[in-house]
Amino acid sequence: MSQEETSAPGNFIRDAIEEDLRNGRFTEVHTRFPPEPNGYLHIGHAKALTIDFGMAETFGGKCNLRFDDTNPVKEDVEFVDAIKEDIHWLGFDWDDREYYASDYFGQLYEFAVRLIKKGRAYVDDLSADQIREYRGTLTEPGKDSPWRNRSVEENLALFERMKKGEFPEGACVLRAKIDMASPNINMRDPVMYRIIHNPLHHRTGSTWCIYPMYDFAHGQSDSIEGITHSLCDLAYEDHRPLYEWFIKELEIFPTRQIEFARLNLTYTILSKRYLKQLVDHGHVRGWDDPRMPTLCGMRRRGFSASAVRNFITQIGVAKNENLIDIALLEFLVREDLNKTALRVMGVLNPVKVVITNYPEGQTEFLEAVNNPEDPSAGTRPVEFSRELFIDQDDFREEPPPKYFRLAPGKEVRLRYGYIIKCVDYIKDPHTGEVTEIHCTYDPETRGGYAPDGRKVQGTIHWVSAGSAIDAEIRMYDRLFSVPDPNKPEEGKTYLDYLNPDSLTVLQHCKLEAGLENAKPGTRYQFERKGFFTVDLDSTPAKPVFNLTVPLRDSWAKIESGQKAGK
């Protein structure tokens, strides 16, 4: 990955780091990416980790990978492995610096004891609901817990008993002793430790039954690792005073926290809780469903890592929240795949064409370009025969104005092939659907050019019926039908805006021979249709392709405009 790619985003962050280096606050740059192993990474995490790893690379520093595994109720090694795979997919690596907050449970416990001894932490017997009630509101101060002024000795003894598992879950917590009247609600004696007996921790097993809260574990883990710059989203801006309070009270390495605006994307939900609901309730097929904004979902859909990184670079890093148009991401995916994807022909809604003046039983092979953007990709032979398949959309019984595809009495050019003319067609007497089109071909127009100079405006794609393979094509669209499902109308939830047409499965599509052996993850451009990727479900016996992004269809735009004008 080039320095230009990674250093472009985040001028204000880069400026702050440069100032820290100039004034001697730090002599090196050491960042970290701290995911919670309770879900899969999504495009918003891609922004965060690109900034974390990118800033370190820009300044010749280091970036740690640290899993914030402080809540065994929600964590699983499945997520740990998936997160590492996603980071590597984006092109980043943490070398030998893979850490876990659980690595520091002993040290964090000692930090908590130190605060108790200073009179800056206490064991509280209030329930979770009572703590919430005592905390007050944004406009009203909180009130002290009746257990706030326990002696240091009593707090040390109670905290030790919490550690030994003598209390049930919810019986008590350890809280920092700060200021219940603080205008910043995060400073009103936040909880530092809670009791969790089950499930057991995925790394430490039954060693611990008390676990530090994020606000306590995060900053102290940064300090233990010598992190110079803790880069996080704006949701933690109000937590920064607490972050700095712990550092000051513990007199430990003073990591600097800098916040940036999180990524918000149109037609997309990035709340991990909502994404989990989509999976758990069957609205999508899993975390890697190609409609999901997860990195594994995008990868399965066919998005390239370079396009995702380029997207993060393009949007930059802001201090204020904004909503980014997903069309930019789709454009960059299309732009990237246009350079690299091999071209093939695929007919999604096939109708048979019979070339009546082409010899029966004869076949020939025409030369097709693999990628006009990359001459080194070469060419391939494609079979041509008397019977072909074309897309139903490429034929009209009664063509409207500006329709330059196949129609009765009209000529059209077959991609890489001949000029053909429709002379007849057959319809199903019950449905009225065209089932077969009869054409003649001009044998002098091989390659699509007419020696007599006549101009044929339309070019359509096709496949030979004799060698075409059947395939399942999954046509994906945006998961939500409104630009901002995060802001539902009164009485509705984000689920009310799920797009019922976000997935359409097409069976018995006709593709060029040979594609049945394409490996999952391989990307192609189906000429005139879009970019498609071989799905993980694909087998030689039943090839499956995902629509990654469509091409722009000029006729569809014209037809849509005509309908809108009626």
Q: Where in the sequence is the domain holding 548, given as residue range(s)?
A: 342-476+507-565
What's the CA gap between 372 and 193, in Å, rounded? 61
Q: pTM for the full model?
A: 0.91
On whether residue 265 sits in a domain, the answer given is no
- Residues 225, 368: one domain? no
- Looking up residue 413, the CATH number of its domain turns out to be 2.40.240.10
- Residues 48, 164: one domain? yes
> Which band of pLDDT confidence, cut at 50, 70 and 90, is reported for residue 564?
low
The set of catalytic residues is: 36, 262, 272
On whether residue 271 sits in a domain, the answer given is no
Mean pLDDT of 212-230: 97
On whether residue 406 sits in a domain, the answer given is yes
Domain boundary among 223, 241, 260: 260
On whether residue 269 sits in a domain, the answer given is no
What's the CA gap between 487 and 445, in Å, rounded? 57
**Dihedral pair phi/psi, residue 209, rounded to 5°:** -125, 5
Do residues 63 and 246 lie in contact, with contact meaning Cβ atoms separated by under 8 Å?
Answer: no
- Residues 347, 247: one domain? no
SS3 for 546-566 is: EEEEECCCHHHHHHHHHHHHC
Quick check: 562 pLDDT over 90?
A: no
Amino acid identity at 273: R
Quick check: 387 pLDDT over 60?
A: yes
- Residues 549, 400: one domain? yes
> Strand 229-233 relative to strand 387-391: parallel, antiparallel, unpaired?
unpaired
Determine how many CB atoms are found less than 10 A away from the CB of residue 337: 23
Task: Summarize pLDDT for 149-195 with one digit per residue, the tens.
Answer: 999 999 999 999 999 999 999 999 999 999 999 999 999 999 999 99
On whether residue 299 sits in a domain, the answer given is no
- Residues 202, 55: one domain? yes
Using DSSP's 3-state secondary structure scheme, residue 293 falls into: coil
Residues 6+ apart with CB under 8 A from 15: none
Domain boundary among 260, 289, 307: 260
Of all residues in the chain, what percent carry a pLDDT higher than 70?
A: 96
Domain boundary among 227, 245, 260: 260
- Residues 254, 368: one domain? no
On whether residue 276 sits in a domain, the answer given is no
Do residues 102 and 128 lie in contact, with contact meaning Cβ atoms separated by under 8 Å?
Answer: no
pLDDT of residue 320: 87
- Residues 256, 347: one domain? no
What's the CA gap between 257 and 251, in Å, rounded? 16
Residue with tokens 């097929």: 285
> Strand 173-176 relative to strand 191-195: parallel, antiparallel, unpaired?
antiparallel
Structure tokens at 342: 């091999």
On whether residue 451 sits in a domain, the answer given is yes
What's the CA gap between 299 and 275, in Å, rounded? 17
pLDDT of residue 11: 83
Task: Summarize pLDDT for 25-60 with one digit per residue, the tens.
Answer: 999 999 999 999 999 999 999 999 999 999 999 999
What's the CA gap between 542 and 540, in Å, rounded? 5
On whether residue 319 sits in a domain, the answer given is no
- Residues 69, 189: one domain? yes
- Residues 450, 360: one domain? yes
- Residues 347, 256: one domain? no
Task: Summarize pLDDT for 248-289 with one digit per residue, the tens.
Answer: 999 999 999 999 999 999 999 999 999 999 999 999 999 999
The half-sphere exposure of 296 on its side-chain side, counting CA atoms within 13 A, is: 17
Q: 175's torsion region: left (phi>0), alpha (psi -120 to 50) or beta?
A: beta
- Residues 84, 224: one domain? yes
- Looking up residue 159, the CATH number of its domain turns out to be 3.40.50.620
Total structural domains in the chain? 2
